[in-house]
Amino acid sequence: MNKKHFWGMLLVLLITGFVFYQELKTTSFSAMVKAFKDLNIGFLVLVLMVMLLSYVCEAAILAILAKRPHEPHHGMWAFFRVPLIQALFNAITPISTGGQPSQLAALVQMGIEGGRATSLLLMKFIIYQIVVFFAYVWTILFGFHIVAAKFSALAIFIAIGFIIHVVSILFLISILFAYRTTKRVTLWLLKQLTHFFSEEKVSKWRKALLEKIETFYAEGQKLKKEKGKLIWSVVLTVAQLLCFYSIPYLVLLALNLTPSWLDVTQMNIMIIMFMAIIPIPGASGGAEYSFQTLFSTFIKSSTDLVLGMFIWRFATYFLGILLGLFGWFFKPTKKCRS
């Protein structure tokens, strides 16, 4: 971790702290203590356990994709620390840009060669994006009308986040299933950019993008041939996302509320879409605002709302930072091919 990451973490803490301070100013301390005492401890523990389970699912996906005959065996900790480190760097870099490079570094530290590590992450990324695509489409089709009716201002940003996600995911899927057409369309679009940018700049973009398309297509073809790994990875990705998306529902149960899992989960997915377009580490400020706006539908008490927001933010964000720091400093034994 460098100074930029340290300042990113500090910025997150300051913004999040300011948001909570603003809320706590108008909240009675005695009411907050009472709300905390009234928490359902069983569900509170379950919140943390389910969040940990989502990391376990992600580690298992990597272990399945990495498994090959006649290769060194890597321990459970070696794979488990990879999603933890990803959570740390997703949290402290704008638009989660540090997640992928940090995973690559963690895999290389295990003794996995850089090219193969990149290949593993690409395969995991392909599966994840396809599963997320269906989750986003399902949410917009069956849950967006609730937000549009009650929170029109926030709905606009959720719609923008959805469009950005879906366009990028459709582009990736088109590479896998319509490779030649996608390549031709990409080249045509790049050619149009020469009307607005210098030929030299567009040429650099063309080279970089075509390299990524070729790599992505090659990894997709490789994944298609390993159907057993593909099926198990899809199942575990669905489980991973169900765990992560269910956290707010479990938080509400910890607050002794009984909402619909479907409604809460749809709103949570929309929050995630909104957070993804906020160019601040951890989407600080926007995440808390969107949680308050959407979950005020289920939480009528302002005290419970602040407490729920804190538990949700800790489980989905600060827990990842703490575990990620632990994972970063405690490296596994590096194993090389014999």
Of 170, 166, 208, 214, the closest CA to residue 190 belongs to: 208
Percent pLDDT > 70 in the chain is 80
Residue 284 above 50 pLDDT? no
Give the model's pLDDT for residue 51.
95
DSSP label at 2?
Answer: -
Give the model's pLDDT for residue 88.
83
Residue 178 above 80 pLDDT? yes
Got the DSSP string for 234-280? HHHHHHHHHHHHTHHHHHHHHTT----HHHHHHHHHHHHHHHTT--S
Residue 276 near residue 162 (C-beta atoms within 8 A): no
Give the model's pLDDT for residue 13.
62
Mean per-residue pLDDT for 297-304? Answer: 82
Give tens-digit pLDDT for 72-116: 677 788 889 899 988 888 777 765 666 778 888 888 888 887 777
Give the model's pLDDT for residue 254.
93
Give tens-digit pLDDT for 238-264: 999 999 999 999 999 999 998 889 988
Residue 186 above 60 pLDDT? yes
Give the model's pLDDT for residue 109.
84
Give the model's pLDDT for residue 146.
75
Give tens-digit pLDDT for 13-49: 666 665 555 555 666 667 677 877 889 999 999 999 9
Query: So where are the chain's domains?
Result: 3-329
What pTM value is reported for the model? 0.79
User: Which is more confident, 319 or 29?
Assistant: 319
Residue 285 above 50 pLDDT? no
Give the Cα separation of 132 and 130 in Å (integer). Answer: 5
pLDDT band at 214 (very low <50, low <70, confident <90, very high): confident
Q: HSE on the CB side for 140, CA within 13 Å?
A: 20
Residue 202 above 50 pLDDT? yes
What 3-state class would DSSP assign to 199? helix
Give tens-digit pLDDT for 132-170: 888 888 888 888 887 777 767 677 777 887 888 788 888
Residue 4 above 60 pLDDT? no
Mean per-residue pLDDT for 117-128? Answer: 83
User: Residues 83, 88, 93, 98: what is their CA dihedral angle, to the nearest 10 degrees?
Assistant: -30
Residue 59 above 90 pLDDT? yes
